[in-house]
Amino acid sequence: MTKPRILTGDTPTGRLHLGHWVGSLENRVRLQDEYDCYFLIANMHAFTTRAEKPDDIRRDTLEIVKDWIAVGIDPERSTLVLQTEIPAIAELTWYFAMLLPFNRVMRNPTLKAEIEAKDLGDHYSFGFPLYAVGQCADILAFRAELVPVGEDQEAHIEMCREVARRFNHVYCGVDSTTKDEDYVAKGGVFPVPKAKLGRIARLVGTDGKQKMSKSLNNAIFLSDETNEILKKCKKVVTGRQSATDPGVVEGNALFQYASAFMKDTARLAELEQLYKAGQIGDGAVKEEVGRAIDAFLAPIRDKRKSLDGKAGDERVVEILRDHIARANRVAEETLRMAKAAMKLDFGPRQLQ
């Protein structure tokens, strides 16, 4: 029996942080045996906003893979997909771009939020909004059924679902009133994939307000050292005036971290009681939460150290290379099926 496939991934924009862990990484690590997993490094997407920084993108590509391996993504069980080595993805992007109205893409709320957050104004590249269509191709090239992502990616997955339905309807003759789970059984090429959200939809950053994000400077990275973690926790904004004020636990970044990373649940309940009663100061809670995060990250950090330096870089490149053929086997098969449905089966295709 073949396992259903997962595809998900990250754009290489820097090191991964705790928000990535609770949003998606944790699910990826956990689902590796149940699913045939494909984890994609969206290095082509990185060029949509940083085309003039190829060195940075290459560095960040290797960093992401190091973070992945450190948290427990296992290249023996899962396939790592380096986007720029999978030509079928770029080709499918073109075909899918013609199934989506231009304005539909531009209405995508995740794109809009990114334009705002990165202050792209109206000077973003032509390729920038195209990445959302490319993301549909990333997922559908592997005919994935499940996409573990953080909440911010939901709009992209919704667009991908629309593309899958539309392709199956237009080129495979599947009735457009078909239930999502039945498209393939009725002759469609693409399953209509589902997003799988993490256990915490949105991890707050150390500013206590906004989503944890590298660009907002409010992130605790998976590779942060003990003293950095404690320092960042000390700065977490809770809005509480004094140690004897009754504290508010709901919506408090510190307690969101505590419930996400403290193993000792009895102690967590006790801390919440003390805090609400004004019997413990922010400083003490910060220290304890910082220690809990550090205990969680220590083994990840250690594993990552084994991939440090030039030897680590070389090892990562070797792993990525090893996986290219595996990924292309699936993606090329998908492209063949899609082109046949589109009456484009003029092949045979010879890439080398």
Q: Which of 5, 45, 66, 339 forms a contact with ligand TRP (CB under 6 A)?
A: 45
Hey, what are 196's tokens? 């799988």
CB closer to ligand TRP out of 159 and 271? 159
Q: Does 10 bind ligand TRP (CB under 6 A)?
A: yes
Stretch that binds ligand TRP, among 40-48, 95-103, 215-223, 320-328 (CB under 6 A): 40-48
- Residue 135 interacting with ligand TRP (CB under 6 A): yes
CA-to-CA distance for 115 and 135, rounded, in angstroms? 17
Q: Are 326 and 79 in contact (CB under 8 A)?
A: yes
Give CA 308 to chain center in angstroms.
23
Distance CA 134, CA 130 (A): 6
Candidate ranges 4-12, 120-128, 221-229, 235-243; the one touching ligand TRP (CB under 6 A): 4-12
Q: Is 139 in the site for ligand TRP (CB under 6 A)?
A: yes
Of 62-70, 115-123, 131-139, 305-313, the segment contacting ligand TRP by CB under 6 A is: 131-139
43 belongs to the binding site for ligand TRP (CB under 6 A): no
The Cα 71–Cα 255 span in angstroms is 23
114 is a site residue for ligand TRP (CB under 6 A): no
Q: Which is nearer to ligand TRP, 131 or 255 (CB)?
A: 131
Among the listed residues 42, 80, 172, 320, the single contact to ligand TRP using CB under 6 A: 42
Of 65, 50, 91, 49, the C-alpha closest to 321 is 65
Residues 6+ apart with CB under 8 A from 97: 130, 133
154 vs 228 by CB, closer to ligand TRP: 154
Binding mask 147-186 for ligand TRP (x = CB under 6 A): x-x---x---------------------------------
Backbone φ, ψ for residue 190 (5° rounding): -110, 130
**Sheet strands side by side (includes 146-149):** 79-82, 36-41, 5-10, 146-149, 194-197
Least Å distance between CB 298 and ligand TRP?
A: 26
Q: How far is the CB of 134 from ligand TRP (least distance, A)?
A: 7
* Pairing state between β 36-41 and 146-149: unpaired
According to the binding rule CB under 6 A, does residue 40 interact with ligand TRP?
yes
15 within 8 A of 223, measured Cβ to Cβ: yes
State the Cα–Cα distance between residues 57 and 130, nearest whole angstrom. Answer: 19
Residue closer to ligand TRP (CB basis): 8 or 108: 8
Of the candidate spans 85-93, 134-142, 200-208, 232-240, the one that interacts with ligand TRP by CB under 6 A turns out to be 134-142
Strands 79-82 and 5-10: unpaired
Q: How far is the CB of 147 from ligand TRP (least distance, A)?
A: 5
Q: Pick from 313, 346, 339: which is nearest to 87 by CA?
A: 339
Closest-approach residue to ligand TRP (CB): 42
3-state helix, strand, coil in the chain (%, to 5): 55, 10, 35
Check binding of 9 to ligand TRP (CB under 6 A): yes
Neighbours of 149 (CB within 10 A): 23
DSSP 8-class letter at 266: H
Please report whether residue 11 would count as binding ligand TRP according to CB under 6 A: yes
- In the beta sheet, which residues pair with residue 7? 38
**Is the Cβ of residue 131 or residue 261 nearer to ligand TRP in the bound state?**
131
Residues in the interface with ligand TRP (CB under 6 A) total 14
Instruction: Give residues 73-112 in contact with ligand TRP (rule: CB under 6 A).
Output: none
Contact 149, 157 (CB under 8 A): yes
* Residue 138 makes contact with ligand TRP by CB under 6 A: yes
Of positions 8, 108, 206, 238, contacts ligand TRP by CB under 6 A? 8
Q: Give contact residues for ligand TRP (rule: CB under 6 A).
A: 7-11, 40, 42, 45, 135, 138-139, 147, 149, 153
